[in-house]
């Protein structure tokens, strides 16, 4: 049965360290279906736009530099309660607070380089999916 969607990125640090395969395996084992995926790299402008909500934060420029520092994997994941269940699977933003068995606990290097992104609402999941993917690139729209 079709579920809701969430948007994830495997961030440049985790990609560089070769954690893509194990992270995708955790995503699969947790019952998510990948309905779109690509290897890409964010330009400075794209990273600024994606994280525009954090523009006023002291970490914004550093975050934008990091997020545009190398390749990422972007993917749309489908599951019932996709947003909440994926936030559960990735763990707390700060890996020091992330629970055992979560993606960030296993693969985050720091608060900034925290391995993966996960959408925080259904509305943002749809906006973020559209940020990366044309409808023709999503198997649920084919
Ligand atoms: P994401 O949106 O990447 O899934 P999140 O929703 O858990 O993460 P946000 O509050 O949206 O957390 O922060 C976006 C990203 O900014 C974090 O994932 C992290 O990479 C970075 N970040 C957040 N707070 C800090 C901070 N205090 N110092 C440095 N980087 C931070
Ligand atoms: Mg967020």
pTM check: above 0.75: yes
pLDDT tens digits, one per residue of 1-37? 456 999 999 999 999 999 999 999 999 999 999 999 9
Ligand that lies nearest to the alpha carbon of residue 114, given by its number in the listed order:
1
The backbone torsions φ and ψ at residue 116, rounded to the nearest 5 degrees and listed phi first, read: -145, 160
**How far, in Å, CA of 88 to CA of 17, rounded?**
23
How far is ligand 1, taken at its centre, from the CA of residue 85, in Å? 18
Q: Which residues surround ligand 2, an ion (CB under 5 A)?
A: 120
pLDDT at 142: 85
pLDDT at 1: 44
pLDDT at 47: 98
pLDDT at 38: 98
Ligand that lies nearest to the alpha carbon of residue 67, given by its number in the listed order:
1
The mean pLDDT value of the chain amounts to 97
Q: Determine if ligand 1 sits within 6 Å of the CB of residue 6.
A: no
pLDDT tens digits, one per residue of 89-110? 999 999 999 999 999 999 999 9
Instruction: List domains and CATH numbers for the chain.
Output: 5-135 (3.30.70.141)
pLDDT tens digits, one per residue of 99-140? 999 999 999 999 999 999 999 999 999 999 999 999 999 998
Burial of 107 (0-12, 13-18, 19+ CB in 10 A): buried
pLDDT at 2: 54
Q: How confident is the model at residue 141 (pLDDT cuts 50, 70, 90)?
A: confident
Question: Is 54 tagged catalytic?
Answer: no
Of the candidates 11, 104, 117, 138, the residue annotated as catalytic is 117
**How far, in Å, CA of 115 to CA of 56, rounded?**
23
């Amino acid at each position: 049965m079709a579920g809701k969607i969430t948007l994830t990125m495997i961030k440049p640090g985790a990609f560089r360290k070769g954690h893509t395969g194990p992270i995708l395996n955790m995503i699969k084992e947790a019952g998510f279906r990948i309905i779109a995926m690509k290897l890409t790299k964010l330009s400075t402008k794209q990273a600024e736009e994606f994280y525009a909500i954090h523009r006023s934060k002291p970490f914004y420029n550093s975050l934008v530099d990091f997020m545009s520092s190398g390749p990422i994997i972007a993917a749309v994941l489908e599951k019932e309660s996709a947003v909440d269940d994926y936030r559960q699977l990735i763990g707390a933003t700060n890996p020091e607070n992330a629970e055992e068995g979560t993606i960030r606990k296993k693969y985050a290097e720091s608060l900034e380089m925290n391995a993966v992104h996960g959408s925080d609402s259904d509305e943002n999941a749809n906006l973020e999916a559209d940020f990366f993917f044309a409808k023709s690139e999503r198997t649920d729209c084919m």
